[in-house]
């Protein structure tokens, strides 16, 4: 499975549009947003694509957002892992206590996160921890892809 990973868009929907366009050209199977969405305009850019996301420390989800998500077909975050090519993938923003515990426990094959606005691709025991960078307050702005079949991570700059 080819997964497109982005994070920390903070409402910059036009930058998200460019990232989603790249993912479309690359033929990703799933888009994962690792939090700090910003607002509904970012969700609008993800609508119509298979995607998962988590809330970040700057997001303010509420019942209205859940209803809005229902209208877009984007699933409400539920904390469940993704299974792909026999691998387990966990998604966090990166500020949660559970994130740090999952990393130290090597709780999955892959842990995807954001929050720091810095690219990361690190193996900790059996776990590969990946941060795509950020689409706001980062130079350069970046996203990543993960190919679970080949265990390949590639970073892409978004101008």
pLDDT score of 61? 85
pLDDT of 5: 99
Mean pLDDT in consecutive groups of 10 residues from the start of the chain, 159 residues: 98 98 98 96 96 95 82 91 97 96 94 98 96 97 98 96
Q: What is the pLDDT of residue 24?
A: 98
The count of structural domains within the chain is 1
Q: Characterize the bridge pairing of strands 51-53 and 30-33.
A: parallel
Tokens 């991570």 locate to 153
Using CB atoms within 10 A of its CB, is residue 6 exposed (0-12), middle (13-18) or buried (19+)?
A: buried
End-to-end distance of the chain based on CA atoms, in angstroms?
Answer: 26
Q: Which residues does 46 contact at the CB level (< 8 Å), separation at least 6?
A: 16, 20, 31, 33, 53, 72, 74
The enclosing domain of 75 has a CATH number of 3.60.21.10
Domain span at residue 123 reads 2-158
């Amino acid at each position: 499975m080819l997964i497109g990973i982005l994070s920390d868009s903070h409402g910059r929907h036009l930058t998200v549009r460019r990232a989603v366009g790249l993912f479309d050209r690359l033929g990703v199977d799933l888009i994962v947003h690792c939090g700090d969405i910003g607002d509904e305009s970012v969700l609008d850019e993800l609508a119509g694509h298979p995607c998962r996301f988590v809330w970040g420390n700057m997001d303010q989800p509420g019942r209205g957002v859940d209803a809005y998500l229902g209208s877009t077909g984007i699933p409400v975050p539920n904390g469940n892992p993704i299974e792909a090519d026999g691998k387990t993938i966990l998604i966090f923003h990166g500020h949660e206590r559970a994130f740090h515990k999952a990393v130290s426990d090597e709780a999955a094959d892959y842990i995807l996160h954001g929050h720091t606005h810095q690219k990361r691709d690190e193996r900790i025991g059996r776990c590969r921890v990946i941060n795509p960078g950020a689409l706001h307050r980062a130079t350069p702005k970046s996203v990543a892809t993960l190919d679970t079949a080949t265990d390949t991570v590639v970073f892409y700059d978004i101008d």
